[in-house]
Chain A
Amino acid sequence: MRAIVVMAIMIASSQVGWSQKAPIEIAGGYQVEIMTSAICELCKETIERELTFTKGVKESDLNVESRVVTVKYNPKKTSPKEIRRHIAGVGYHADNVDRDATAYEKLPFCCKDGSHGREILDRSH
């Protein structure tokens, strides 16, 4: 029980404590970290697959535990704003951009809020 509470607090704090990150310059381009509402491996695949085929994105890696996707991109071809729009387009919140409701509806049940015991927390902040 205690562990669950601790975990819930950790998850909650990881989201509540999140503020939109500014892109940083790396070798050969820029990198940005984006908080998503991904909750499982399948969400990871959906988001990474979408970003793989997004213009200007070189690489993406989503950490399921922290829900943060790290994206390397070419600033001449895309922007963090555009990347967030693509993530939202496949059904996931991306920082302050809300998910596309229709795309979310089509997600498999294991990627829906509450699945795997991982609630998507209140986003009214």
Chain B
Amino acid sequence: MRSILYFLFIAIHATGFSQSIRGKVEDTNHQALIGATVRELGTTNGAVTDINGRFQLELSQQQGQLLISYTGYLADTVVAVLGKEAHYQLEQDTRYLQEVVVKGETTFMDDLEAKHVEVITASELTKAACCNLSESFETNASVNVSFSDAVTGAKTIQMLGLAGKYVQINRENVPHIRGLNNRYGLGFVPGTWIQSIDVGKGAGTVVNGYESMTGQINLEFKKPEQSERWYFNAYGNSFGRLEFNVNHATDLTDKWSTAVLFHADWMDSEIDGNDDGFLDLPRSRQINVMNRYKYQGDRVNSQIGVHFMTDQKAGGQLGFGFGDDFATSPVYGFSNRTNRFEVFGKTGLLYPHKPYMGWGFIYSLAYQDMEGGYGRNNYDGEETTVYGNAIYQNIIGSTFHQYKTGVSILYDDFAENFADSAFSRREIVPGAYFEYTYLPGDKFTLVAGIRSDLHNLYGTYVTPRLHLRYQLNDRTTLRASAGRGYRTPNAIMENSNVLVSSRRLSILEEPEPEVSWNMGGSLVTGFEMGDREVSVVADYFYTTFENQLIYDLERASELRIYNLEGSSYAHSFQVEAAYPLNDYLKLKAAYKFYDVRATINGELQEVPFNSRHRFFANASYATKYDKWTADVTLHWYGSQRLPSTLDKPTEFQRPQRSEAYPHVIAQVSRGFRWGSIYLGSENLFNFTQDNPIIDAENPFGEQFDAAMVWGPIAGRLVYAGIRYKIK
């Protein structure tokens, strides 16, 4: 009986032919091509390659032919190789200058990756037309963007219910937004420079260091060899902000190519929608330039680049402008000038006959300074960072057992001054790591890593990380991860939002490094509805702190800073579903729950400024070849606990919880042969927090506080822009 059933099963299977194939798409130098489109010819079957260039596809025909395409490369039609993972090479297209295809997926989950990673592609990024990295996550459910105060205009991100400082943000695998960059750093990465973003939830790989505590975000910038020859973008909005971006990429010789990325923005108008006498967002101007070179040899790949940025902000009360002195100004002023200079690069050594083997060396030397003030208090910061990481990868016996090992060095010289407080430290941290990957087939992956770092100030850090992936069936994948993370807090910079208040800074003890454990898991699955598939992603992560630097706002006149005494944890749960209604319209919705508590002021309580419940919904419409696209995204934030103001005079007290509020963004764009024009709005419903500043009339008085911010300060924004490409 059983064998008959088995036979039946085979028979059914055979009539509807289905064969799963796996492969990797790479260029002729064995570099993985991310986001390449793989289609089965004559069908609607298709896949997009993941961050390792890998894909998986169900063939529906016996003699499957694949059409593999990737912008900037010659598309190729090949016969699908069954049974084993095949490598498909695409040749770079030096002649074909017109844009062909590629309407790939805009966001996708990386199927074969052991870590829970979502990839946001360049075409998804165009849905948030403005302006920098902080807006790049607007159509993504996993990363939340939050408003921090009513003066500085800084936006920060949150992940798994915790602040963005616990996410390791890398640029091409070099730790990037950290230290002095922590608060304003997202604004220093122009959106038009970004090729793709990988959002990894939970513990990250040990290869990139010990700093990822809740997740790891990796930014890939536009590459010389893959970019348009010329790309122009001009943007303007109803607040008077203007932006101009130019990217240029060119081949210098057959081995060398270069790209210049340029960004400038300018806003010098006074926007005060709530009439409290304070600018809703500061005046700002920025010039940002990167020049990168790539050498592509037969055995050596090398990149080197330089980056220079200067940024200036001036905010506070109406009338305070660029160049005004906050210390003597009759009105309350906020100013900040940041300069950053960086040299970075990587070199890889390949073995053409042993594609699994290789050497890599990644480095960055950066100097950054900040100068400015908040009201009558000055703030200055300076940071010099040197980072180096040498990686070796190989296999043990067969490709079932792979490993990466290496050594790294971090030198971080950090100094900051605020009014009469000063902090400085010099960290020198050599480290070594080993990461083993067990990949016995396509169903199961285990990645176990450990690293040890000898911190000159804080002793030995031991960082274990574990990732598991199990593919239950063609649609369903389970993942689990666990790991430890460390970071050094920067007490003043991380509170720059609180500096716009009359609070006294009380640092009760010497800050110690923050240490956390994170564990969790995710389920990716799908089911048929009509003739289309609903895809579902559910994940749960738990973060708990061994030590955390607590920023206690519970006394209205003080910001008290001390090391955690008690417990601190965050439970985060998210479920997301996506459904293509038809060829043009895609719907996506998510619900997020965060339970974030810490011992603050001697009591285990909800961490302030954190919505426990959040909703996300997105409708995305695109006609053929993106001639017309339209996007609407809703973020709904539930009520947040606010720090206590009970010790203020009654008229300055605030409610204990915030209101719930919606934040809606929308954009329409029209494509042309040469690019596109777009029109959009942020905060479409014009929701703003009422009266965000406590005692705005007396900014130098004892009750003033502009940091009690839980929602948008600026009202509806309308923008328009143009993108022009020359291939």
A interface list, Cβ under 8 A from B: 40-42, 45-46, 48-50, 52-53, 90, 105-110, 116
Contacts and interface: CB of A to CB of B under 8 A. Distances in A.
Given A106-B96, A108-B100, 11 more contacts: A40-B67, A41-B41, A42-B69, A45-B100, A45-B101, A46-B98, A49-B100, A52-B627, A53-B671, A106-B98, A108-B96
Contacts of B93: 108
Nearest to B74: A108
Nearest to A107: B96
Interface size class of B (residues with CB under 8 A): 20 to 34
Interface in B46-105: 67, 69, 74-77, 93, 95-101
The secondary structure that dominates the B interface is loop
10 contacts: A40-B67, A48-B624, A53-B625, A53-B672, A105-B95, A106-B96, A108-B74, A108-B75, A110-B75, A110-B76
B443 interface: no
A52 B100 CA distance: 13
The secondary structure that dominates the A interface is helix
Nearest to A90: B98
A110 B673 CA distance: 22
Contacts of B96: 106-108
B100 A42 contact: yes
Interface of B: 39, 41, 67, 69, 74-77, 93, 95-101, 624-625, 627, 671-673
Given A53-B672, A106-B97, A42 B627 contact: no
A42 B101 contact: yes
Contacts of B101: 42, 45
Contacts of A109: 74
Contacts of A52: 624-625, 627
A53 B41 CA distance: 25
Q: Which of B625, B627, B671 has the most CB of A within 10 A?
A: B625
A49 B95 CA distance: 19
Nearest to B624: A52
Contacts of A53: 625, 627, 671-673
A40 B77 contact: yes
A47 B713 CA distance: 48
A105 B98 CA distance: 12
Contacts of A107: 96
A50 B100 CA distance: 10
A50 B99 CA distance: 10
Contacts of A40: 41, 67, 77
A49 to B, nearest CB: 5
B512 to A, nearest CB: 58
B95 A48 contact: no
A107 B95 CA distance: 8
Nearest to A45: B101
Contacts of B74: 108-110
Contacts of A106: 95-98
A99 to B, nearest CB: 14
A90 B98 CA distance: 9
A63 to B, nearest CB: 11
A70 to B, nearest CB: 14
Contacts of B98: 46, 90, 106
A125 B625 CA distance: 35
B624 A110 contact: no
B41 A48 contact: no
A48 B625 contact: yes
Contacts of A116: 77
Given A41-B67, A42-B67, A90-B98, A49 B76 contact: no
Q: Which of A45, A46, A106 has the most CB of B within 10 A?
A: A45
Nearest to A103: B98
Q: Which 10 A-B pairs have the closest CB atoms?
A: A52-B625, A108-B74, A53-B673, A42-B75, A49-B625, A41-B67, A45-B101, A108-B96, A52-B627, A106-B96
A104 B358 CA distance: 40
A35 to B, nearest CB: 20
Contacts of B69: 42
B149 to A, nearest CB: 45
A30 B80 CA distance: 40
A109 B92 CA distance: 12
Contacts of B97: 106
Nearest to A43: B100
Contacts of B77: 40-41, 110, 116
Contacts of B672: 53
A46 B95 contact: no
A52 B622 CA distance: 13
A90 B673 CA distance: 12
Contacts of A46: 98, 100
A42 B75 CA distance: 8
Nearest to B101: A45
B121 to A, nearest CB: 18
Contacts of A90: 98
A106 B100 CA distance: 12
Nearest to A50: B673
Contacts of B100: 42, 45-46, 49, 108
Nearest to B77: A110
A16 B672 CA distance: 35
A48 B626 CA distance: 12
